[in-house]
Amino acid sequence: MSRPAIVFDLDGTLVDSLPDIVFSFRWSFGALGLEAPPEAAVRAQVGLPLEAMYALFAPLAAVRDLAAGYRRHYAEHLANRSRPFPGVEVLLGALRERGYALAVATTKQTPMALRLVTAMGLDDALDHVQGTDGFAHKPAPDVIERALVALGADGRWMVGDTTHDVGAGKAAGLRTYAVTWGTHDAVRLRAAGPDVVASDLSGLLPALDRDGTVGGEDHRTGKGESAG
C-alpha cells in the first residue's frame, strides 16, 4: 500500500514569508520608476502567479520587467525576515513519525521554492518540493498531482492559506485544511468550503485523528484504508 501523504502550500502556510514577498514586489515598481501599490493590496493577492499579480497593478507592457526585477531581488532577500511559522518543525516531525509522506506544492517555481525551503531549514523535514513550472496554477490541481506522483503516495490532505489552495486540494480529491495566519482571512477561506478552517496548524493532528488514519491504517476498523 502506498504511503498516505499530506501536501502543504509553502508561503503563508509553512513559512511566514509574506513580508519578504511583498517588499520585493513593491521594490520592483520603484526600480522602474513606477508608484508601488499599497502593501495591503499586494498582500491580498499573494498566491496568484507573479505575472497575474503584476497585471492587477501595472500596465501590461511593464509586467515582464517588473516580474524579472522581483525575481532578482527576491532571490537575494528571501530570508531577510521570513521564518517558519511557530510549531512547523515539530508538526512535520510528528507527521513523519506517523508515517506520512510530506510534500510542498507551491505557485513558486521549483528552484526558488527549494531555495526558500533550504534557507528555512525545512529541506530535511520534507520528502518533495514541487513548484509550478510551466503548467496550470492553483486552483487547478496539477501541482498537487505532480507532487503526489513524485512521492508515489496517496494524497489525504491539502493544507494552505488561500482559496486557491483549497480549490486545488478539492480538485485533486483531497480533504482541505485552511489556515488563517497567511494570506486570506477566515471569512474568505470558509467561502471556499474547506474541511477545516483554523488560526494555525495545531489542529491538523486532531483533524487527522478524526479522519481515522495514521500511517495508512484505518484505526476505526483496524484495516487499511484507500486514499481519501
Residues 145 and 44 in one domain: no
More confident residue, 220 or 15: 15
Closest CA to 161 of 124, 213, 198: 198
pTM score: 0.88
The model's pLDDT over 31-59, given as tens digits with 9 standing for 90+, comes to 999 999 999 999 999 988 999 999 999 99
Q: Which residue has the cell 495508512?
A: 216
What average pLDDT score do residues 116-141 get?
A: 97
How far apart (Å, rounded) are the C-alpha atoms in residues 1 and 120?
32
What average pLDDT score do residues 66-71 get?
A: 97
How far apart (Å, rounded) are the C-alpha atoms in residues 81 and 96?
27
The tally of domains found in the chain comes to: 2
The model's pLDDT over 139-166, given as tens digits with 9 standing for 90+, comes to 999 999 999 999 999 999 999 999 999 9
Average pLDDT over the chain reads 92
pLDDT at 214: 52
Give the pLDDT band (50/70/90) at residue 211. confident
Q: Assess whether pLDDT exceeds 70 at residue 221.
A: no
* Overall size of the chain counted in residues: 228
> For 120-225, where are the alpha helices, taking DSSP H only?
142-151, 163-171, 186-191, 204-211
Residues 12 and 24 in one domain: no
Q: Assess whether pLDDT exceeds 50 at residue 212.
A: yes
Q: What share of the chain is helix, strand, coil (3-state, %, to 5)?
A: 45, 20, 40
Residues 8 and 114 in one domain: yes
Residues 124 and 218 in one domain: yes
Closest CA to 132 of 158, 111, 115: 111
Mapping DSSP to helix (H, G, I), strand (E, B) and coil, where does residue 5 land? Answer: strand
Q: Per the residue annotation, which of 9, 16, 20, 161 is the catalytic one? A: 9
Q: What is the CATH number of the domain that holds 127?
A: 3.40.50.1000
Q: Per the residue annotation, which of 11, 20, 154, 165 is the catalytic one? A: 11
The range of the structural domain enclosing residue 188 comes to: 4-16+84-224
* Under 8 Å between Cβ of 82 and 16: yes
Q: Assess whether pLDDT exceeds 80 at residue 223.
A: no
Q: What is the CATH number of the domain that holds 34?
A: 1.10.150
Name the maximum alpha-carbon separation found in the chain.
64
The model's pLDDT over 1-34, given as tens digits with 9 standing for 90+, comes to 689 999 999 999 999 999 999 999 999 999 999 9
Is 11 one of the catalytic residues?
A: yes
